[in-house]
């Protein structure tokens, strides 16, 4: 990749010379974009200043991200996530929790405590992903994390984050 004098990237193509190892007869510049292309318009109003996200936007982002991480980590998710953001804390409740087949089996055989214990340990093992999502959305550092699971109907999980 080369740069034109105006710093526009261009690809260099070899013309002539065939497959022989001898130097090419001519180097031709091929622009990566047509000269008249300006690119997409900036969606922002020129001179407008964007403020920090609203509380509702932060709550929506937290809910979306925690639900996404949960679904990616377990392979199943929850029906919905609700985020509550207070002064110094975030609580995310995952409603309509979906159980894995092995968890259903254990519950059917009286091992509810085992399912809760394994889920709690797993949540703590993957807490780095949860913490990062909360820190990105709130702009604040997470200094503590707790998780609890209720497998009784209605099933839910609560993720609690203490902020700096």
> pLDDT, tens digit, for every residue of 51-108?
678 889 999 999 999 999 999 988 888 999 999 999 999 999 999 999 999 999 999 9
> Domains (ranges, CATH) in the chain?
2-31 (no CATH), 55-163 (3.30.565)
Write out the two tokens for 59: 């709550």
Confidence (pTM): 0.66
Q: How confident is the model at residue 33 (pLDDT cuts 50, 70, 90)?
A: low
Q: Coil, strand or helix: which one is 39?
A: coil
Distance of alpha carbon 126 from alpha carbon 71, whole angstroms: 12
For 110-133, how does the pLDDT look when each residue is reduced to its tens digit (9 = 90+)?
Answer: 999 999 999 999 999 999 999 999
Report CA torsion sign: 133, 134, 138, 142: negative
Res 42 pLDDT > 70: no
């Amino acid at each position: 990749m080369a740069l034109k004098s105006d710093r526009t990237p261009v690809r260099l193509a070899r013309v002539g010379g065939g497959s022989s190892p001898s130097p090419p007869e001519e180097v031709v510049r091929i622009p990566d974009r047509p000269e008249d292309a300006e690119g997409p318009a900036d969606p922002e109003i020129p001179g407008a200043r964007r403020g920090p996200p609203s509380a509702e936007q932060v709550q929506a982002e937290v809910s979306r991200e925690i639900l996404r991480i949960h679904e990616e980590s377990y392979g199943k998710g929850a029906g919905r996530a609700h985020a509550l953001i207070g002064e110094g804390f975030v609580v995310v409740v995952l409603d309509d929790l979906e159980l894995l087949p092995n968890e259903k089996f254990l519950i059917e055989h009286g091992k509810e405590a085992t399912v809760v214990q394994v889920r709690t340990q797993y949540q703590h093992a993957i807490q780095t992903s949860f913490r990062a999502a909360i820190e990105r959305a709130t702009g604040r550092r997470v200094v503590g994390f707790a998780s609890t699971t209720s497998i009784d109907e209605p099933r839910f999980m609560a993720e609690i984050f203490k902020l700096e």
